[in-house]
């Protein structure tokens, strides 16, 4: 399907000679894209529907499937397959090819992000004032990440002054929340691998950043690995180890304790879904101008 889309798209471009052979002149695309931009008044935004493809959109809107190239050019699309929103099936196949399994993509964390999207709380002035920055570091807190919950709030301003404080709409990111370490009560036959997700249970897990047969370090910790008694951790391949409960330690608290409530773990699956959804927001050449613009662009390709 991807190959067919690419052939149809590049068939609109003229040929040039390269090392004695005919090749598609993709440099023509630069001039053509500039020409398209000169018709911005003839554009409007469009959100593609779930599983809608560009050729289906061209047929439904322009009543001509061959007008898909107008969509590609209007949106600076080079690869008609991966630069457009993938269908559900293609997206799942893409995830499996890139991450091995959907489960891996769901359980692995790419970063932590300000969770203002899901919080419509409005603080009073006294509530905001109570959120004092903590300049004295807690145990093992990252010295570059002084806890300051006030940075997550912005004033609600009215003609008579500040009415309160709402969540600041800023993408405050952290690569991980914390790094923990622990040793094993007995030597493993073979160690965990870098990137393995190890879990105590489905609610308590982390990603391996270092491991040998005696100890390991994990990041992106979900839940709690502390315990009064030894317990077993396991990876997806079934490799397991018994953790010495007395050895469990937080080596580095990257997200300050006072800011944890303002951060949300974003999985690779969520991240890829967001990127795919953004590709559904496109520009369309207005139907009334499509034929004249198509003729002008075809002429400019010659």
Structural domain contains residue 143: yes
Query: Which pLDDT does position 302 carry in this prediction?
Result: 56
Structural domain contains residue 216: yes
Domain boundaries, position 203: 178-253
pLDDT for 5-26, tens place per residue? 444 555 555 555 555 655 444 4
Mean pLDDT of 83-97: 94
Q: Are residues 127 and 242 in the same domain?
A: no
Q: Are residues 26 and 71 in the same domain?
A: yes
Structural domain contains residue 241: yes
Could you count the other beta carbons within 10 Å of the beta carbon of residue 56? 14
Beta bridge partners of 155: 165
pLDDT for 29-73, tens place per residue? 544 455 555 555 567 889 999 999 898 999 998 888 888 888 888
Q: Are residues 40 and 138 in the same domain?
A: no
Cα-trace Rg, the chain: 27
Q: Are residues 150 and 287 in the same domain?
A: no
Q: Are residues 73 and 127 in the same domain?
A: no
Q: How far apart are CA 263 and CA 261, in angstroms?
A: 6
Q: What pTM value is reported for the model?
A: 0.80
* Residue of 29, 77, 34 lying closest to 54 (CA atoms): 77
Number of domains in the chain: 3
Lowest mean pLDDT among 12-21, 210-219, 254-263: 12-21
Q: Are residues 81 and 215 in the same domain?
A: no
Q: Encoding tokens for residue 233?
A: 């951790």
Angle at Cα 170 formed by Cα 166 and Cα 173, nearest 5°? Answer: 125
Q: Are residues 167 and 191 in the same domain?
A: no
Q: Are residues 143 and 266 in the same domain?
A: yes
Structural domain contains residue 101: no
Query: Which pLDDT does position 162 carry in this prediction?
Result: 93
Q: Are residues 169 and 136 in the same domain?
A: yes
Whether the pLDDT of residue 138 is over 80: the answer is no
* Residue of 149, 140, 145, 87 lying closest to 119 (CA atoms): 149
| Residue length of the chain | 302
* Residue of 260, 274, 252 lying closest to 152 (CA atoms): 260
pLDDT for 172-185, tens place per residue? 999 999 999 999 99
In order, the DSSP letters of the chain are: -HHHHHHHHHTTSPEEEETTEEEE-TTHHHHHHHHHHTTGGGEEEEEPPTT--HHHHHHHHHS-GGGHHHHHHHTT-SSTTTTSPPPHHHHHHHHHHHHSSHHHHHHSEEEEEE-GGG---EE-HHHHHT---B-S--TTB-TT--B-GGGGEEEEEETTEEEEEEE-----EES-SEEEEEEBSS--SS---TT-EEEEETTEEEEEEEE-SSEEEEEEEES----SS-EEEE-TTS-EEEE-GGG-EEEEE-S-GGGGGGEEEEEHHHHHHHHHHHTTEEEEE-HHHHHHHHHHHHHHT-
Q: How far apart are CA 214 and CA 183, in angstroms?
A: 6
Q: Are residues 191 and 55 in the same domain?
A: no
Torsion of CA 93, 270, 253, 243, to 10 degrees: -40
Q: Are residues 72 and 119 in the same domain?
A: no
* Residue of 110, 109, 113 lying closest to 152 (CA atoms): 113
Structural domain contains residue 91: no
Q: Are residues 136 and 266 in the same domain?
A: yes
Whether the pLDDT of residue 281 is over 90: the answer is yes
Q: Encoding tokens for residue 37?
A: 């931009």
Query: Which pLDDT does position 136 carry in this prediction?
Result: 55
Structural domain contains residue 121: yes
Structural domain contains residue 37: yes
Structural domain contains residue 104: no
């Amino acid at each position: 399907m991807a190959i067919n889309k690419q052939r149809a798209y590049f068939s609109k471009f003229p040929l040039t000679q390269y090392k004695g052979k005919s090749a598609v002149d993709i440099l023509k695309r630069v001039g053509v894209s500039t020409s398209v931009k000169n018709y911005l008044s003839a554009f409007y935004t469009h959100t593609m529907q779930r599983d809608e493809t560009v050729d289906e959109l061209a047929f439904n809107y322009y009543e001509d499937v061959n007008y898909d190239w107008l969509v590609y050019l209007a949106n600076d699309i080079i690869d008609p397959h991966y630069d457009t929103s993938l269908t559900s099936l293609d997206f799942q196949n893409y995830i499996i090819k890139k991450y091995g399994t959907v489960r891996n993509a769901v359980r692995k964390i790419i970063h932590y992000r300000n969770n203002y999207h899901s919080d419509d709380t409005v603080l009073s002035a006294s509530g905001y004032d109570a959120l004092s920055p903590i300049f004295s570091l807690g145990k093992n807190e990252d010295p570059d990440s002084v806890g300051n919950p006030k940075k997550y709030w912005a004033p609600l301003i009215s003609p008579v002054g500040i009415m309160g404080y709402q969540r600041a709409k800023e993408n405050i990111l952290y690569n991980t929340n914390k790094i923990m370490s622990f040793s094993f009560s007995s030597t493993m036959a073979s160690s965990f691998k870098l990137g393995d997700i190890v879990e105590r249970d489905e609610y308590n897990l982390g990603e391996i950043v270092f491991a040998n047969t005696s100890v390991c370090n994990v990041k992106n910790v979900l839940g709690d690995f502390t315990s009064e008694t030894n317990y077993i951790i396991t990876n997806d391949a079934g490799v397991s180890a018994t953790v010495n409960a007395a050895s469990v330690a937080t080596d580095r608290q990257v997200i300050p304790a006072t800011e944890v409530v303002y951060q949300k773990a974003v999985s690779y699956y969520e991240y890829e879904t967001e990127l795919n959804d953004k590709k559904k927001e496109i520009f369309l050449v207005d139907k009334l101008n499509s034929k004249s613009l198509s003729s002008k662009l075809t002429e400019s390709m010659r």
